[in-house]
A and B are shown apart, each in its own frame.
Chain A
Amino acid sequence: MSPAPEPSPASRWRERSLDVALVLWPAFLAACAASLLFFAAVDPVLLRDAGPHWLAGLDREAGYALGFFFFWGVGAIASSLSVYLIRTGHRTAGGAPPAAS
């Protein structure tokens, strides 16, 4: 089996940018669902009042936004680990990860 040809910078960049999309997009979807469930049960104003003093002064909208970005960040960490593990793992026989069929 001949070694795979060295990927061109353009295709490498495309792969990287698609990896970034693969990380951010599922995390975004998960963050939407998590924010919906979480803020249906918890009022961010109550969290602020119970939290550290530097949170004081934030209003509810800021709370929703911070919560959303927090969930997005956590989701992105999980997705990026998944992508990293898939990219760096041993490939199955045939040189490709198991294909969906």
Chain B
Amino acid sequence: MSTARVVRVPEAETPSGFYAAAEKIYPREIRGRFSRLRQGAVVLLLGLFYGIAWLQWNGRQALLFDLPARKFHVFGLTLWPQDFLYLALLLIIAALSLFFFTALAGRLWCGYACPQTVWTELYTWIEQWTEGPRSRRMKLDRGPWTLQKLWRKGLKQLLWLALAAYTGFTFVGYFTPIRTLGTQIASLTLGPWASFWIFLYSLATYGNAGFLREQVCKYMCPYARFQSAMFDKNTLIISYDQARGEPRGARRRGSAPRPQGLGDCIDCTLCVQVCPTGIDIRQGLQYECIACGACIDACDDVMDKMGTPRGLIRYTTEHAVHGTATHVLRVRILVYAALLITIAGALVYSLATRTPLILDVIRDRNALYREVAGERIENAYTLKVINLDERPHSYRLAASGIVQLTVMAPTGLITAPPGAVSALPARLQAPAGAAAGVHRIVLTLSAVDAPRIVVHENARFIGPTP
């Protein structure tokens, strides 16, 4: 048998039998380092998902993307559609993080954090709890419909559906207040759209985690197809050590493989049985591999029992497999990291210095200027005031840039309700002697009830040509 690494690429399509028939995969249950890691991730991530929805902050939901009211509450912060930049930055950061961690350690996202993996894991736990371990599940599926089978399958479906419904409810609870949603469901007064979205997301959870499972990764996920673009020979991958394992073959426990002309692999196929996507890692790196590490746990267990060292299947890099040095710091990693730090820094800085007030100044287009009594020149503007805070504020307008520049209107307080865009006319006057030509002036809007909220906006003041 050749020891060359076989790298399988997505199979070329053939006219008939476009896709391989998806055979049901019965992943074998497994205990080990990486399974514990993933279980920890599942508990943590689902705990956050189901828990944060109920967290309160200053008397309202802490994290609420309130689409009906068009405002986002993120703990102490309220964001309006005008703050879209932050959302865009956040999405860019998410994408860059994915690139960074993929280049560094391969498909960490797929194996531990992807909702598809996390909910599939939860659904598999339910399946194992109701239908038993792999062999029992296979036997149950082959066997006739007995009362026992009906009971086990029924219980599984019931639990799956209940979990799906609660997941849909929680998901929609991030977009409309979850407590209100809960009371509406309890009193059967839920609106049609909320019901529809809850139903849709429940259906998606049930279908994706209960039935589609690995097919989502194999057929639907775009990331699975292009993640290899982030890979290089220094990226952590899960790999079977061909040189050590081959030729594979069965042998007695504790017997040395080499004298028998064998490698360390005893061909027990446990690595295949535990694989949630049903591949054989011994065929080399495959795009179906979500890097969950189940095969490592299975193989380590077997190697322990056989008395051979662990790591026949292990996290390694292509360089390490070929006996050359692996470099963690490399151009790709440094570029991703630099971009990530820069954009995350920009987001933090702009959030920290964010003033919940926007002032736009638009010059009146009808007249350049107006001469008014008392040797004065007047310019007219339209102010757009957007209060981005959670509560109403009163503001005062001031202007500077020319000596004796005065605000004629609005002289009183400008009040703006939260989230509202108010447009109001403004008039400024300056003495004719000082106003000749074009001047750059600064309009300052400051909240009288919150000294922190001050914005400055540049504008032009035009007087007669000197």
Contact = CB atoms under 8 A, between A and B. Distances in A.
A4 B15 CA distance: 8
B84 A41 contact: yes
Contacts of B196: 65
Contact of A96 (B15, B81, B193): B15
Interface in B4-27: 9-19, 21
Contacts of A4: 15-16
B259 interface: no
Given A61-B68, A65-B196, A99 B9 contact: yes
B87 interface: yes
A59 B10 CA distance: 46
Interface string A1-26: 00011010001001100100100011
A14 B23 CA distance: 13
Contacts of B14: 95-96
A62 interface: yes
Interface residues of A, number: 30
Nearest to B17: A11
A96 B67 contact: no
Contacts of B129: none
B191 interface: yes
B21 A96 contact: no
B81 A61 contact: no
A43 interface: yes
B466 to A, nearest CB: 43
A101 B15 contact: no
A61 B81 CA distance: 16
Given A40-B84, A64-B67, A99-B9, A21 B15 contact: no
B145 interface: no
Given A21-B219, A60-B68, A61-B191, A97 B13 contact: yes
A26 B225 CA distance: 14
Interface residues of B, number: 27
A47 to B, nearest CB: 13
B422 to A, nearest CB: 16
B346 interface: no
A99 B12 contact: yes
B70 interface: yes
B220 interface: yes
B19 A15 contact: yes
A97 B191 CA distance: 48
Nearest to A15: B18
B9 A101 contact: yes
A5 B19 contact: no
Nearest to A40: B84
A18 B13 CA distance: 13
Contact of B16 (A7, A25, A36): A7
A85 to B, nearest CB: 15
Interface string A27-40: 00100000010011
Contact of B13 (A14, A26, A99): A99
A100 B10 contact: yes
> Which residue, B9, B14, B196, B222, has most C-beta atoms of chain A within 10 A?
B14
B16 A5 contact: yes
A11 B16 CA distance: 8
Contacts of B87: 36, 40
A25 B68 contact: no
A14 B19 contact: yes
Contacts of B67: 39, 60-61, 64
B15 A95 contact: yes
A5 B87 CA distance: 52
Contacts of A36: 87
A83 B17 CA distance: 16
B16 A43 contact: no
B19 A18 contact: yes
A14 B21 contact: yes
A21 B220 contact: yes
Given A21-B219, A41-B81, A61 B15 contact: no
15 contacts: A11-B17, A11-B18, A15-B19, A18-B219, A26-B222, A29-B222, A39-B67, A40-B87, A41-B81, A41-B84, A61-B193, A91-B15, A95-B14, A96-B13, A99-B9
Q: Which 4 A-B residue pairings sit nearest by Cβ, starting from the closest?
A: A99-B12, A61-B193, A40-B84, A7-B16
Given A21-B219, A65-B193, 5 more contacts: A7-B16, A25-B220, A61-B191, A100-B9, A100-B10
